[in-house]
Structure 1
Amino acid sequence: MSTQTELTGVAGWAVDVMERLGGPGAGLIIAAENLFPPLPSEVILPLAGFTASQGTFTVAGAIAWTTAGSVVGALLLYTLGAVFGRERFRKVWGMLPLVTLEDLDKTEAWFERHGTKAIFFGRMIPIFRSLISIPAGIERMPLPIFVGLTTAGSLIWNSLFVVAGYQLGENWHVVEQYADVFQKIVLVAVVLFVGWFVVSRVRRMQRDRAA
């Protein structure tokens, strides 16, 4: 590959793994991305498309293997939630500041109503796509439904980025720029929500003490 020497850091490492192991290497990296969100799929997936454009494997193979990797990673986190269990999780939650078991009960009720949507659309939201598998495991969402929704959501997300990387070839990094903007928007929204939650919760505690 003519550009391999120009790729450094995560990008260089990912391309090296995919060139050595082929499609399974792409799947392995994406499975790791589910377990370690700092490995950004917004970089790995376009690189899989770029590597496919160099003839290492086909674009269909890249999509299939990365989607399989997404499902494997999600299943590992689902298992973690199932093994950890609801009662242990409630004990840990009860020791956290600014939250109550009532909050957890409401969250569980919301997940019960909208769990399928959360799993499907969650696969397309940075960071959240990894974490959402844990409550699914805790709540013991039926495995066929969890796998089906995870596969469908991952297939859409992965296909967009892999095909974009394939079409752009050596300009794959253009995808990363747009994905980075999207991720920042999501993170800002999360920070604002957390800020609002903390302020409202502190005020509520102050009112309860005064009463």
Structure 2
Amino acid sequence: MEQFIESTINQFGYLAITLLIAIENIFPPIPSELILTFAGFLTTNSKLTILGAILAATLGAGLGAAVLYWIGTFLDMPTLAKLVDSRLGRILHLRLKDFERAEYHFKKHGRLAVFLGRFVPVVRSLISVPAGMTKMPFGTFMLYSLAGAGIWNTVLIGFGHYAGKAWKQVMVVADDFKIIILVVLALAVLVGLGVHYLKKNKRKQAKSTEI
């Protein structure tokens, strides 16, 4: 698979990045880390640019997420369980526990799960299904999906670019780096919520003093 991905990106450039990332979003076993870091490396010795590779990858992520969201609008958990147990489900290596995990995160965190899910393998794909099942507004879903995907793509493509010929080593530390990103983002969200709460409180206090 590694050779196929490398030769496809080498031959078709941005189009290959978009299509491969879209497919990776729909079929989780395909490694996005390999696609993105190799694309980053190619920006050092081909006509590909970092910005172009990021945009192509983010477009692909959006397309893949939209397809799974659309599929989710036609599903419920019993139907999903039947699909997983079917021959097609076995061919695609689908597991019900992965969908249940994605559904759990979505029910618990909602929009935040869609955003943070982009940094977690398997969840980044499957989180789109419960979003579709619960009829989350499509515009909101895409906004959070593209924001998360854009950050993840930027990080890995950037790593691939600066690692140069050592780009494959980036994948070794990718799992640890995901944890760091999630912690940083979680802290950023908490700080953002805290600031929002304080501003809201100040506005309420200002209004009550005026009265």
With the length of structure 1 as denominator, give the TM-score of the two structures. 0.69
3-state SS, counterpart of residue 129 of structure 2: helix
- How much has 1:90 moved relative to structure 2? 8.4
Equivalence map 1:14-163=2 (5 Å)? 14-85=5-76, 88-89=79-80, 111=106, 114-163=109-158
Query: C-alpha displacement at 1:87, in angstroms?
Result: 7.0
Greater mean alpha carbon deviation, residues 74-83 or residues 150-159 = 74-83
Provide the rounded CA distance (Å) in 1 between the counterparts of 2:172 and 2:135.
37
In the TM superposition, residue 54 of structure 1 has moved relative to its aligned partner by: 1.5
Q: Decide whether aligned partners of structure 1 residues 47 and 113 sit closer, same or farther in structure 2, where only a CA change above 3 A counts.
A: same
- Equivalent residue letter for 1:33: E
Contact 1:51 1:57 (C-alpha < 8 Å) held by counterparts: yes
| In structure 2, distance between residues paired with 1:179 and 1:16 | 22
Runs ≥4 in structure 1, deviation > 6 angstroms?
90-93
Partner-residue secondary structure (3-state), 2:33: helix
One-letter amino acid of the counterpart of residue 110, structure 2? G
Counterpart in the other structure of 1:165: 160
| 1:38–1:92 Cα change, 3 Å | closer
Which runs of 5 or more residues in structure 1 are unaligned?
1-8, 94-103, 185-211
Shift of 1:84: 2.1
Give the aligned residue type for 1:160.
V
Query: Compared with structure 1, are the counterparts of its residues 178 and 88 closer, same or farther at alpha carbon in structure 2 (3 Å cutoff)?
Result: same
Q: What does 1:177-192 correspond to in 2, within 5 Å?
A: 177-180=172-175
Quick one: which amino acid aligns to residue 133 of structure 1? Answer: S
What's the CA shift for 1:179?
1.6
Task: Report the 3-state secondary structure (helix = DSSP H, G, I; strand = E; otherwise coil) of the residue aligned with 1:84.
Answer: coil
* 1:80 partner amino acid: I
TM superposition score normalised by structure 2: 0.69
SS in 2 for 1:141: coil
Count residues in correspondence. 163
Q: Which runs of 5+ in 2 are unaligned?
A: 85-99, 180-211
Q: Deviations over 1:141-196 (max 9, x none)?
A: 10000000000000000100001001111110111111255689xxxxxxxxxxxx
Query: What secondary structure is seen at the aligned counterpart in 2 of 1:53?
Result: coil
